[in-house]
Structure 1
Amino acid sequence: MIATPETGLIGVAILLLLLLAGLRIGVALGLVGVGGLLLLLGPEAAAIKSGVVFIDTLTKYELGTLPLFILMAQLFFAADASRDLFDAAAKMIGHRRGGLAYASVAGCAGFGAINGSSLATTATVGLVALPEMKKRGYSPALATGTVAAGGTLGQMIPPSGALIVFGIIAEQSIGTLFTAAIVPGITQALFYCAVIAVITWLRPSIAPPSQRATWRQRGIALARIWDMLALVGFAIGGIALGWISPPEAGSIGVAGALAIAAIRGRLNMAMLKEAFAGTLQTSGLILLVIIGALIFSVFVGITGLAEAAGMWVESLALSPLMTILLVAVILLVLGSVLDGLALMLLTTPILLPIVSAAGMSPIWFGIFLTRAMEIGFIHPPLGMNLYVIQGVAKDISINRIFKGVVPFLSADLFHLVLLMLFPAMVMWLPQVLGQ
């Protein structure tokens, strides 16, 4: 078979069909990639190409970042971090109108910085926050919409598993990606708070204030989280300032999480066994996805699909802004039917050259792509966070959850537009810190 862009397009179509049929993303990427290489290069060359990708991936120093931060998250989860973070936020601002909704966003941001996963953040914070909001008379739509949207902060606020994966497959600095995500992550959380403020101002009855906590209660709640936040702040701050590399930050995070779990009396062999098992399972799954994606990228590169797509976009004679807008539309359309990681791994080999030709940094594209992924997580009818919430709050209908997330989805789209209009939101901090 001759390598042509049409061949690559057929491969992409087959991959989409396999994903829509429910095949695991790593397996689907690997099958299409290896199958395509077999047809184009023959068995021997395909085996050599795939083997080189496999070995190169396993020996990447940067890959050590992923299991380390996953292990840190597992240890903090065992130490009940999500409950402590939400409780501290609720004690500080729960007495205000909509205070528990603000606390949910703060809890998601804090746990997201520890965990780095959208689905895990949504599930764990939802288990804590939703019963509290229900007990205090909050609207089910507001409660579920807040936690579903807030959960997406786990993908943006570093350390983020999505950014680590993008850094590996796009060969970009993970440390720079982490630094670039700080401002967008903060502004994203502020946008969610603005949505809550507007909704509760228009309809005060849907989020009644809670009883004010005493300063002693607030102090006790803050004392239970300062060590976790200080550890995460040191790890991320150390990366941003260039003091330590991401794998070193992950090592420090694991050591600190072990110490915190021991101080809290949660460190035992059963907990360690569960944390290591969870880390190995998650890391192995993501590693399979990365290897499959890189093999698929080799196949796409050989067919010339990425170059053909770039030439097609160039033939449209669009301005850089219109080119980015076209890329955004493609991502949002695919994000409504694909899992977030599938969206990233499928589109990066094809869209990254187009974005680079439009004059945008690959670092900016990594943040932009992650932001588009997050919108897919809460985009009805297939947004995965919405079904995670339904699993946590079984008494709330999926239609009510869809309704509750719409205002936050509007804020997400506005935030995405700002990232397109003002790339400095992403690139300013890395430039200031000389990255």
Structure 2
Amino acid sequence: MIDTPGTGLIGLLVLFALLFAGGRIGAVLGIVGLGGLALVLGPEAALIKGGVVVVDTLTKYELGTLPLFLFMAHIFFSVDVSRDLFDAAAKLVGHRRGGLAYASIAGCAGFGAINGSSLATTATVGLVAYPEMKQRGYDDRLSTATIAAGGTLGQMIPPSGALIVYGIIAEQSIGRLFTAAIIPGITQALLYAAVVFLLVRARPQFAPAGDRVSWAERWQALGRIWEIGLLMLLVIGGIALGWISPPEAAAVGAAGALAIAAIRGKLSRETLFTAFAETLRTTGLIFLIVIGALIFSVFVGVTGLSDAIGEVVLGLGAGTFVTLLLIGLVLLLLGTVLDGLGLMLLMTPILLPIVEASGMTAIWFGIFLVRAMEVGFLTPPLGINLYVMQGVAKDISIANIFRGVMPFLASDVLHLLLLILFPAMVLWLPRLLGN
């Protein structure tokens, strides 16, 4: 047996090489993990261990949360929820200077709470909000960067697919993670709004003030989203208060989405077929990645790589703040070259023991890790949200989008620093609600 940290390090290097060569993250994680276990434990033991991981993962009750929330999101796609959310926000604040940018952030937060995907939030809200801002004379850099940044709220605002996957990998309560994400999600949105406020005050020409609409029109716009807001309040509030478990909340959300689609007259056979097909496709992809990550995690654990790295880091005597700051820098650097989910699944088994040894909890690390993932979505030159946004705004160069997003990236780094300095931003609400 060659169960040494060096073996684990070689496996990690092979993993990175295959990923940079274009390998699929789920397959690469599983293959390297199984190959490493075969070297360490022997081929037969590796296959048995891999089989146990697959069965244990697929039979987890909590895993049902993910496909149900995905199904809810795809049903909401069919009823133009993103348009309704943006329209309501635009009618409330669109008359102010920068109002449509604020509305875009609010629309992204609302839609992110429904679908839990940064890419889907950016693309869907962008298709609605960007033409409106273009028509009103907003600066292209401000409009594209606001939507791209706001889109990252989809990973943080509960229910979040990333937090569900992290909860499974780290064996943490999904309900507690959702509750812990509420304050960071709100403060993230507020920081983005603050960036818009400062930009439009410094350069008023970036965002002309619009026409004020009547309160009758505002109430009409709010009337188109009240049932969606009520459903999300029930889902997220029910989890936070401990009334229902995350899988039960996901079932309530899926059933509520079907009811809303039926009330709006958009529940058809084609809608259902598309929602089921997209849910199965996305769920299968994520399950493959999760299983691969868990197998790789077993390999890393067997070789003792995580413990060795932890001993080296803690042996430096740098203290909690410096240790967490270094971890944050590592995540930011890797986030520029790895996709968000891959980053989370790859680094959780390696960094989580270090974080816990430094005195922080796995719940805090889950929120911090997802925030670092979100920064990766915005970091040039590989920030995928920026390219999604260019796909929506085809007339804008990627260089302009890169320039526009820099102030929002600065606010993201500030937010990460605040999470390190004030961990109560993450931990206070779960403790208060006792979940």
Report TM bin, short chain. Answer: over 0.9
1:214-259 deviation digits (Å, cap 9, x = unpaired): 1111111101111111101110000000000000000000110000
Q: How does 1:237-276 map to 2 (within 5 A)?
A: 237-276=237-276
Partner of 1:301: 301
Partner of 1:63: 63
Letter in 2 for 1:149: A
**Structure 1 CA distance for aligned equivalents of residues 254 and 329 of structure 2:** 39
Per mean C-alpha deviation after superposition, the further-off stretch among 19-28 and 278-287 is 19-28
The reply to whether residue 142 of structure 1 matches residue 176 of structure 2 is no
Partner of 2:39: 39
Letter in 1 for 2:84: D
Q: How does 1:310-349 map to 2 (within 5 A)?
A: 310-349=310-349
Partner of 1:118: 118
Partner of 1:410: 410
Deviation at 1:83, TM superposition (A): 0.6
Deviation at 1:213, TM superposition (A): 1.4
| TM-score normalised according to structure 1 size | 0.99
Letter in 2 for 1:423: P
**Structure 2 CA distance for aligned equivalents of residues 361 and 212 of structure 1:** 47
Partner of 2:96: 96
**Structure 1 CA distance for aligned equivalents of residues 388 and 17 of structure 2:** 24
Partner of 2:7: 7
Letter in 2 for 1:353: P
Letter in 2 for 1:68: L
Letter in 2 for 1:405: V
Deviation at 1:38, TM superposition (A): 1.5
Partner of 1:186: 186
Per mean C-alpha deviation after superposition, the further-off stretch among 119-128 and 209-218 is 209-218
**Structure 2 CA distance for aligned equivalents of residues 154 and 403 of structure 1:** 22
Partner of 2:401: 401
1:259-298 deviation digits (Å, cap 9, x = unpaired): 0000001001000000000100011100001000000000
Letter in 1 for 2:22: G
1:359-408 deviation digits (Å, cap 9, x = unpaired): 00100000000000000000011000000001111110000000110000
**Structure 2 CA distance for aligned equivalents of residues 34 and 129 of structure 1:** 46
Per mean C-alpha deviation after superposition, the further-off stretch among 175-184 and 228-237 is 228-237
Partner of 2:159: 159
**Structure 2 CA distance for aligned equivalents of residues 138 and 21 of structure 1:** 40
**Structure 2 CA distance for aligned equivalents of residues 18 and 127 of structure 1:** 35
| TM-score normalised according to structure 2 size | 0.99
Partner of 2:228: 228
Cα RMSD over matched residues? 0.7
Letter in 2 for 1:395: D
**Structure 2 CA distance for aligned equivalents of residues 400 and 17 of structure 1:** 32
Partner of 1:369: 369
Per mean C-alpha deviation after superposition, the further-off stretch among 167-176 and 325-334 is 325-334
Letter in 2 for 1:195: V
Moved over 4 A (4+): none
Deviation at 1:144, TM superposition (A): 0.5
Partner of 2:422: 422
Where structure 2 has 5 or more consecutive residues not aligned to the other structure, the ranges are: none
Deviation at 1:25, TM superposition (A): 0.9
User: How many matched pairs?
Assistant: 435
Partner of 2:214: 214
Deviation at 1:20, TM superposition (A): 1.4
Letter in 1 for 2:41: L
Whether contact under 8 Å (2:314, 2:358) holds in the other structure is no
Deviation at 1:35, TM superposition (A): 1.1
The reply to whether residue 351 of structure 1 matches residue 351 of structure 2 is yes
Deviation at 1:62, TM superposition (A): 0.3
1:88-138 deviation digits (Å, cap 9, x = unpaired): 100110000000000000000000000000010001001111111001000
Partner of 1:381: 381
Matched residue SS, 2:143: helix
Per mean C-alpha deviation after superposition, the further-off stretch among 209-218 and 144-153 is 209-218
Partner of 1:390: 390
Where structure 1 has 5 or more consecutive residues not aligned to the other structure, the ranges are: none
Partner of 2:290: 290
